[in-house]
Chain A
Amino acid sequence: MKLAWQNLLHDRGRFLTTVLGVSFAAFLMVFQGSLLGGFLRAASRFIEASDFDIWITARGVQAFEFGATLEARVQELASGVPGVVETGRACMAFAVYRKPNGKQQVVALVGADPNLGKRFPIPEVAERPEDISPESVIYDESDRSVLETLSLPARVEINGHRANIDHEIRGFGGFLGVPALFTSYRNAAHDLGFPPNEGMYIVARVGKPYSVADVQQSLRQRLPEVDVLTREQFAHKSRMYWVIKTGAGSAILTAAVLGFLIGLVVVSQTIFANTMENIEEYATLKALGASRGFVARVVIMESLICGAGGTVLGLAAAIPAMRYARSLIPWIHTPSWLPVIVMVLSLLMCALASIASVRSSLAVDPGRVFRA
């Protein structure tokens, strides 16, 4: 389809404008997609970091970050249900952190039993992973500047209780706008002031040959006053809370859709202008006997060339931009499939943008070739 290429190259200024328009749209889709992807991941990362099959929460809890207390005896009751082979505890609440220099900062304090899972951030004792260092606290490296820990280990205070910051971890940067600190369940419950008869999240592991669904059903019957969810259900619920109910996800999604629409309009306008400018040539092609498919292919090809060129440029610009964004927004995440999706969406966008142009080029009367 040399004609499509040559038509575009003949007006380089317009071609460049179109490619830049598409690249902007592609960039925006990657950026917003990464924000949304990161947001979704961050909204359920604590839940998914656990190895347990079932989460038991107080009735109506929407997200891990906003838990409510439940009776500690729930753990014992859950342990007695057939199929439950192990239980654990987790909690999260806001606390006041006093920095080494004496300044105060609100933090999210996350506590968990050591058996919750290898991926769950818990300050383990190096040689004995089943144990947790007493008074030990860890944080994500992205929160270093907010927490103002100049050197480690550092002695700090959480809700007036002493704590030691041992080391940093990666991948758990806070998306709540406050840094998160991770410690043992016992420390967290103590620092947050939970009474001995109260807890927040109870997790349960299901053993063979029981199915998760059956054990979930049994737990619901045994514990009618709480919510019993599989890990996937709670993760989904948490994601939906952050994305839908807070409106944050909608805002990100809207920006991504706007990016798509901007690209659609830019490409549509340019390809249409190009087609109308060359409408006499399309009439000539039809007079020479070009089939409808041939004519349509020329227009669509022009559009797809703009789409492919713009997307490649947009993705190329997105790589360093995302790297920089990650230093500012630690939870932002670009899934490996996102560039592929953006490429497909961009090409789809360009194909859609060419519809009006294809119609015009097909509608032109070939008989006009004799009207000089």
Chain B
Amino acid sequence: MPDKFLAVEDAHVSFGNGDAQVRALRGISASFERGALSLVMGPSGSGKTTLLSLLGCLLSPDDGTVFVDGVLVNALNGEQKAALRRTKIGFVFQSFRLLHSLSALDNVCLGLEIRDPKQPERMTTARELLVHFGLGDKLNHEPDGLSPGEKQRVAIARALAGKPPILLADEPTASLDAEAGRNICQILRNQVEQHGKTVVVVSHDSRWQEYAHRTIILSDGQIKHQEQVTNS
């Protein structure tokens, strides 16, 4: 029986209608191992981001099923999906998506506030996380005052703030230079190694292959190839 910790089964997703209809996923089935870094690659339009949206409970399949932390997502309403994201999933985006009016510290605090508004020590937790990621001297900087690499580290700190078991990253190194990109790869790999997180990275960046435990190649909304990597 396949592991249903984080999985999609025979998922179909289409966008648009009639002649303009695009079939983003065509009956895809994939199970993502607990405590592993999975890399999803493929050309543009192959369905990588759609797959990530399904796993992040941000999109519902036209057909098929999605499991997150063992929960069948199809049966949940909007607020229940939000609750699942809040407690089980951390997101890292290509464009960072930090809130522009908040400092680095407040951005991370917000991640905690969303998860538990009554948590009394969010400031301390957020500070510790940022210090851990080498941003101790940038706590009060707004996103505009940070480099792309620093912004991504803040975003990762925000994603990790509530200690979610799953981390979904969409092109996390696409906007970064080589060194900053490697740094982010290592940070996410460390989350798997040291904290047992389940990380799914969607990327065009081939550098990720040396950090991933498993690589899935998509093409035209289907899995073209997948392989277990023995680089640990």
Write the residues of chain A forming the contact surface with B, with a CB cutoff of 8 angstroms: 2-3, 6-7, 9-10, 280-281, 284-292, 294, 366-367, 369-372
Contact = CB atoms under 8 A, between A and B. Distances in A.
A292 B79 contact: yes
Nearest to A1: B113
B86 A369 contact: no
Contacts of A367: 53, 58-59
Contact of A289 (B52, B86, B102, B109): B86
Contacts, number: 78
Contacts of A3: 99, 101-102, 106, 110
A289 B83 contact: yes
A371 B52 CA distance: 12
B38 to A, nearest CB: 17
Contact of A372 (B110, B114, B171): B171
A356 B85 CA distance: 26
Contacts of B101: 3, 6-7, 9-10
B91 interface: yes
Interface residues of B, number: 34
Interface of B: 49, 52-53, 56, 58-59, 78-79, 82-87, 89, 91, 93-95, 97, 99-102, 106, 109-111, 114-115, 117, 158, 170-171
With a 10 A CB-CB cut-off, give which of A281, A288, A291, A371 has the most chain B CB atoms: A288
A369 B85 CA distance: 14
9 closest A-B pairs (Cβ-Cβ)? A289-B86, A289-B85, A10-B101, A6-B101, A367-B58, A284-B97, A290-B114, A370-B49, A372-B95
Q: Tell me whether chain A's interface is mostly helix, strand or loop, or mixed.
A: helix
Contact of B114 (A7, A280, A289, A369): A289
A7 B83 CA distance: 25
A146 B78 CA distance: 72
Nearest to A8: B101
Which among B97, B109, B117 has the greatest number of chain A C-beta atoms within 10 A? B97
B57 to A, nearest CB: 9
A286 B95 CA distance: 16
A370 B52 contact: yes
Contacts of A7: 101
Contact of B58 (A281, A285, A294, A366): A366
Q: Which residue among B82, B86, B102, B109 has the maximum number of chain A CB atoms within 10 Å of its CB?
A: B82
Given A289-B86, A294-B114, A370-B93, A281 B100 contact: yes
Nearest to B155: A284
Nearest to A282: B99
A294 B93 CA distance: 22
B63 to A, nearest CB: 18
Contacts of A9: 101
Contacts of B111: 288
Given A3-B101, A294-B114, A288 B86 contact: yes
